[in-house]
Chains A and B, each alone.
Chain A
Amino acid sequence: MTEDFFLRALAGGVGVALAAGPIGCFVVWRRMAYFGATLAHAVLLGVALGFLLEIEPTLAILAICLLLAGGLALLERQRLVPLDTLLGVLAHGVFAAGLIVIAFMEQVRVDLMGYLFGDVLSVSAADLRFIFAIAAGSVAALAWQWRNLLSVTVNEDLAAVEGVPVQRVRMLLVILLAVVIATGMKIVGMLLVLALVIIPPAAARRFAATPEQMVVAAAGVGAAAVVAGLFGSLEWDVPAGPAIVMAASAIFAAGLLVPTRSSSRRRE
């Protein structure tokens, strides 16, 4: 039960959860959930291009995500199609493109299921180092820009007038989100990676009275979901990625039964 691969899976999953929860809070606060889903759909195209150009897949995924964010900023200027539709077009467009490019690569066998649904039990020691470097880096970046990030989240115009470099802060969020998606994809796969970004903050809101508490609680909920999901997967012999996401959803559902801190302090 405490085999090495299982311990590595636990550590890797917890590492991704620690990075995803705090970024996820900003995704939830700023209503970027669908944007995150669009980035996740670009993972396959990134992997394929990584093989074609012979570069590290994670780097290729990052590059595609940033291109996508840039392209979206340009497309937002047209006013005929609303933003959520635009994101839907991009998400499915890049996903289909990824499938087609992979189908063309006859010389490389790609574990499609692994990318779609993750393969947490195959996490290597090198993967672990990478995951924890990413987690440490993204948490450090959030701490470094915390006040600016919060200011931009509350109101971008106010932040701009108060001297916050709004565009750079927004760019930082997009980069961090892309990094977390590219990393978390190894654990739960591209179709479920956004769950680790969104569900823990959604569950954490119930237990938080300040933004800082929510960020810490989101990281905690994510880590708890990884541990519970992996043990559940071992116990009942179900796929690990979906088990983690189910555990996170269960924590969210359980949290709904707890009264929120803010509404328990009714005014007057």
Chain B
Amino acid sequence: MARPPTAVDPESSPLVEARGVSVSFGRRNVLEGVDLAVHAGEIVTLVGLNGAGKSTLVRVLLGIVRPSRGRVVRAPGLRIGYAPQHVDRDPVLPMTVRRFLTVGAPATRGRLDTLLAEVGAGAILDHPLSEISGGELHRVLLARALLREPGLLVLDEPLAGVDVTSQSELYRLIATIRDRYGCGVLLVSHDLHLVMAATDTVVCINRHVCCTGHPRAITRDPAFVSLFGRHVANTLAVYEHSHDHHHDALAEPVPIDSGTRTNPDTPANDVRAAVERGPGRAPDDGIARDASRATVAPGLTESSERPGPDARGARP
């Protein structure tokens, strides 16, 4: 259980921290006693089932929703760059991508061109916002967040509606941005596999914090297993340990279709996972990622019907 290399100093004071945050809408408790901190240079990912309170927690940290109990502490002078999950882009509002980017703060055309190139969005500055694709919109939202030169980048489901190839690209991009700007990153995602691949700390919430830790450790946490189901946890664990344990998996007699192995470095057990999920799922890069995408969805459906009582018991 070696810690992945990270530039984070856990002793430094966090950029933003939630302390015992509870939120209730009417009689419904959405969050209960949540603790969470994001440090500079750290990528923290919030995972959890639908309705677990992920987005509410983000809105509390952003200062949009006031917690009913507990408090949120932000580093003095912290600038937050935020990319929401969804932006309404009704064509009745005539607005180009350029205008959308600069509505919060002015910027030169050269700066915007550079920024769009950096997030891989291409020359779409003069396109109407309502006509760009979903993937382009995610990049534009990321660009708008970066335009503020943020100390903390908050991205709510930055991968929703983005195809698989672009997803891994976008994840690499987020890591690159963290390295280049040294900002903290708070991600919300339900794509567990990609989360595991590119995160320093995973925080799994189901109204309260079920478990928190480094991606490798967390897939073995009983609370995580009970929330997402053993199937999902195992698939993720297979991926995490593929480099030191792949011969274990090879012991199982599973036919491997070498035609799906576009990446020669891909460990065989990842291919096994991919094949197990059924044919026609051949990914075009990093087979393991696609394998997980195939398994996560049914796992989530299954476990959402019986939100495990153990999860609560395992609360730290």
Which residues from chain A sit less than 8 Å from chain B, CB to CB? 28-29, 77, 79, 147, 150-151, 153-155, 157-162, 164, 205, 208-211, 213-214, 261-262, 265, 267
Contacts and interface: CB of A to CB of B under 8 A. Distances in A.
Given A158-B104, A162-B104, A205 B80 contact: no
Given A160-B64, A161-B82, A211-B95, A154 B87 contact: yes
Contacts of A158: 82, 84, 87, 104, 144
B63 interface: yes
A31 B224 CA distance: 42
Contact of B94 (A159, A160, A161, A261): A261
A67 to B, nearest CB: 24
B138 to A, nearest CB: 14
Nearest to A261: B94
A77 B24 CA distance: 13
Categorize the interface residue count of chain B: 20 to 34
Contacts of A154: 87, 93, 95, 100, 103
- Counting from the closest, the 9 A-B pairs by CB-CB distance are A161-B82, A162-B104, A262-B128, A29-B93, A208-B94, A160-B64, A151-B103, A155-B87, A157-B84
A265 to B, nearest CB: 8
Interface in B232-268: none
B105 interface: yes
A162 to B, nearest CB: 4
A209 B64 contact: no
A157 B62 contact: yes
Nearest to A159: B104
Contacts of B87: 154-155, 158
Contacts of B26: 77, 79
Contacts of B80: 161
Given A159-B104, A160-B63, A161-B80, A153 B93 contact: yes
Nearest to A153: B93
B168 interface: no
Which of B80, B103, B148 gathers most chain A CB within 10 Å?
B103
A103 to B, nearest CB: 39
A155 B62 contact: no
B91 interface: yes
A214 B104 CA distance: 20
B148 to A, nearest CB: 7
Interface in B44-103: 59, 62-64, 80, 82, 84, 87-88, 90-96, 99-100, 103
A91 to B, nearest CB: 23
B300 to A, nearest CB: 25
Which of A162, A208, A214 gathers most chain B CB within 10 Å?
A162
B127 interface: yes
Given A205-B92, A262-B130, A262-B131, 18 more contacts: A28-B92, A29-B92, A79-B26, A154-B93, A154-B103, A155-B84, A157-B62, A157-B84, A158-B87, A159-B104, A161-B64, A161-B82, A208-B94, A210-B95, A262-B91, A265-B126, A265-B128, A267-B124
9 contacts: A28-B92, A29-B92, A157-B62, A157-B64, A162-B105, A209-B94, A210-B99, A213-B94, A265-B127
Contacts of B95: 154, 210-211
Nearest to A214: B94
A161 B154 CA distance: 10
B103 A150 contact: yes
Interface string B138-165: 0000001000100000100000000000
B55 to A, nearest CB: 10
A106 B123 CA distance: 69
Contacts of A147: 103
B147 to A, nearest CB: 10
Contacts of A161: 62-64, 80, 82, 154
A4 B92 CA distance: 39
B82 to A, nearest CB: 4
Contacts of B63: 160-161
A261 B128 CA distance: 10
Nearest to B144: A158
Contacts of B103: 147, 150-151, 154
Given A267-B127, A267-B131, A160 B62 contact: yes
A267 B104 CA distance: 26
Nearest to B87: A155
